């Protein structure tokens, strides 16, 4: 009986769908509970009510209604309400309109000939509203998404409001993304305006910007963090970091997981020397992390200190060079004096030799 009435309703809708609204002050047939009624009489009464401009409901099909329109069908298959628009023109669509008298919401299936406009795509489905729209569950279950007529989930909002992509496991972040790095990227951000200085990602705390990743000249990115001089007080007592730099281990190593070679520091070894660059895990079994960006100021301090030491050594070298030049002049002076002395000694030796010869001649004569 239900199928007969339902089939008759659908047939009548097709016949009366374009009919002008008519008054239905009284039903054509008086039907009472428990009495036998012809399907034609039932449908005539329904058509009268359906085409009446004063139809206020509630209407029930297959059940006693509690809402404006209630429909029920008990079968081991899908139960559907079908709205068909088989026109293939550019504006054809089928849908359901929900309104409060002012704003409207639309569930729409666009036709095969629909003129594409942004997210409105031929053969596509859309949910639109003239005001605010929301998608919510009254229970604590997740809102799940799938594509390609598949039961495989590709995304979900879990009961805590976390967005999970390609995973159902909440790892603690507000957004969780799982992906196969051999065939795809995790996140791609493209500045289509090619604007140098455009912010790819900006970071805030309690509404205040504290850092960003920006487009650097359309050829690179810059990783910026807050360093405004107006937010800082320079201390009069400055730390000497020379010992820190000397004692931080830095060198080549390999990762145990894949034996890949790398260069850097050891977080646990660096922590007691320069904790500013190390994040210690809350749980000792957790992974220690290092912020290499925090080591850049330390390296800059080391370079400046090296310049200072070099300048001091240059002064000392200049002093030593002056002293060496003075000694060189003294050596030259002594050499000149020595040469004069050698000449005088040679003259004296010659004189002595002459005297010795004279003494020898005189002795022989005697």
Residues 208 and 282 in one domain: yes
Q: Is residue 85 part of a domain?
A: no
Residue 30, pLDDT score: 80
Check pLDDT > 60 for residue 1: no
Q: In the 8-state DSSP scheme, what is residue 117?
A: B
Residues 143 and 215 in one domain: no
Residues 296 and 285 in one domain: no
Q: Kindly indicate the confidence band of residue 355, based on its pLDDT and cuts at 50, 70 and 90.
A: low
Q: Kindly indicate the confidence band of residue 151, based on its pLDDT and cuts at 50, 70 and 90.
A: confident
d(CA 292, CA 276): 10
Check pLDDT > 70 for residue 20: no
- Check: CB of residue 106 under 8 Å from CB of residue 127: yes
Residues 125 and 138 in one domain: yes
d(CA 264, CA 277): 12
Check pLDDT > 80 for residue 50: no
Residues 207 and 168 in one domain: no
User: Could you tell me which of 284, 294, 300 has the C-alpha nearest to residue 264?
Assistant: 294
Check pLDDT > 60 for residue 250: yes
- Check: CB of residue 176 under 8 Å from CB of residue 163: yes
Residues 115 and 55 in one domain: no
What's the mean per-residue pLDDT of the chain?
Answer: 85
Q: Is residue 38 part of a domain?
A: yes
Q: What is the pLDDT of residues 213-237, one digit of tens each?
A: 999 999 999 999 999 999 999 999 9
Check pLDDT > 60 for residue 246: yes
Q: Is residue 306 part of a domain?
A: yes
Check pLDDT > 90 for residue 277: yes
Residues 45 and 31 in one domain: yes
Residues 274 and 330 in one domain: no
Q: Is residue 82 part of a domain?
A: no
Residue 22, pLDDT score: 55
Percent of the chain with pLDDT strictly greater than 70: 87
Q: Which residues contact 298 (CB under 8 A, 6 or more apart)?
A: 241, 244, 245, 274, 277
What average pLDDT does the segment 116-141 reach?
86
Whether the CA torsion 335, 337, 340, 344 is positive or negative: it is negative
Q: Is residue 352 part of a domain?
A: yes
What average pLDDT does the segment 84-95 reach?
92
Residues 237 and 281 in one domain: yes
Q: What is the pLDDT of residues 283-323, one digit of tens each?
A: 888 999 999 999 999 999 999 999 999 999 999 989 888 88
Check pLDDT > 50 for residue 12: no
Placement of tokens 């500013």 in the chain: 276
Q: What is the pLDDT of residues 65-79, one digit of tens each?
A: 888 888 888 889 888
Pick from 163-167, 198-202, 286-290, 342-346: least confident: 342-346
Any long-range contacts for 73-79 (C-beta under 8 Å, 24+ apart)?
73/2, 73/6
Check pLDDT > 70 for residue 135: yes
d(CA 12, CA 261): 77
Distances (CA, A) of 268 to 255, 279, 290: 16, 10, 9
Residues 284 and 295 in one domain: no
Q: Is residue 217 part of a domain?
A: yes
Residue 132, pLDDT score: 85
- Check: CB of residue 92 under 8 Å from CB of residue 111: yes
- Check: CB of residue 292 under 8 Å from CB of residue 277: yes
Say how many C-beta atoms besides its own lie within 10 A of residue 27's C-beta: 13
Check pLDDT > 90 for residue 189: yes
Angle at CA of residue 96, ends 70 and 119, nearest 5°: 145
Strands (E), 6-149: 59-61, 69-71, 93-99, 104-110, 125-129, 143-146
Q: Is residue 273 part of a domain?
A: yes
Residues 155 and 203 in one domain: no
Residues 320 and 295 in one domain: yes
Q: Could you tell me the residue range of the domain that residue 157 belongs to?
A: 93-177
Count of structural domains, the chain? 4
- Check: CB of residue 121 under 8 Å from CB of residue 108: no
pTM here is: 0.61
Q: Is residue 272 part of a domain?
A: yes
């Amino acid at each position: 009986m239900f199928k007969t009435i339902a089939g008759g309703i659908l047939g009548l809708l097709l016949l009366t769908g374009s009919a002008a609204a008519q008054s239905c002050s009284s039903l054509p047939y008086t039907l009472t509970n428990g009495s036998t009624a012809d399907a034609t009489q039932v449908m005539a009464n329904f058509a009268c009510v359906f085409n009446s401009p004063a139809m206020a409901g509630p209407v029930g099909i297959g059940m006693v209604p509690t809402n404006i329109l209630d429909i029920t069908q008990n079968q081991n298959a899908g139960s559907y309400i079908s709205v068909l628009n088989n026109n293939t023109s550019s504006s054809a669509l089928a849908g359901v309109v929900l309104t409060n008298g002012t704003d409207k919401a639309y569930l729409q299936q666009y036709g095969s000939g629909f003129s594409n406009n942004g997210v409105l795509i031929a053969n596509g489905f859309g949910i639109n509203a003239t005001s605010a729209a929301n998608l919510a569950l009254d229970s604590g279950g997740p809102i799940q998404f799938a594509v390609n007529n598949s039961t495989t989930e590709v995304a979900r909002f879990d009961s805590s409001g976390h967005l999970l992509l390609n995973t159902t496991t909440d790892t603690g972040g507000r957004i969780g993304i799982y992906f196969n790095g051999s065939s795809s990227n995790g996140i791609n951000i493209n500045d289509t305006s090619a604007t140098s200085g455009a912010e790819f990602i900006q970071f805030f705390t309690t509404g205040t910007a504290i850092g960003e990743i920006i487009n650097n000249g359309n050829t690179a990115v810059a990783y910026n963090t807050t360093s405004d001089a107006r937010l800082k007080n320079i201390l009069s007592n400055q730390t000497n970091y020379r010992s820190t730099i000397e004692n931080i281990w830095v060198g080549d190593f390999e990762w145990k997981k894949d034996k890949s070679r790398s260069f850097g520091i050891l977080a646990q070894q660096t922590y007691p020397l320069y904790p500013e660059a190390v994040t210690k895990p809350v749980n000792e079994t957790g992974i220690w992390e290092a912020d290499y960006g925090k080591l850049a100021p330390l390296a800059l301090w080391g370079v400046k200190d090296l310049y200072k030491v070099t300048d001091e050594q240059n002064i000392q070298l200049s002093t030593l060079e002056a002293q060496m030049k003075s000694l060189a002049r003294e050596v030259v002076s002594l050499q000149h004096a020595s040469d004069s002395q050698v000449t005088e000694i040679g003259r004296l030796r010659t004189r002595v030799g002459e005297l010795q010869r004279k003494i020898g001649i005189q002795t022989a004569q005697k």
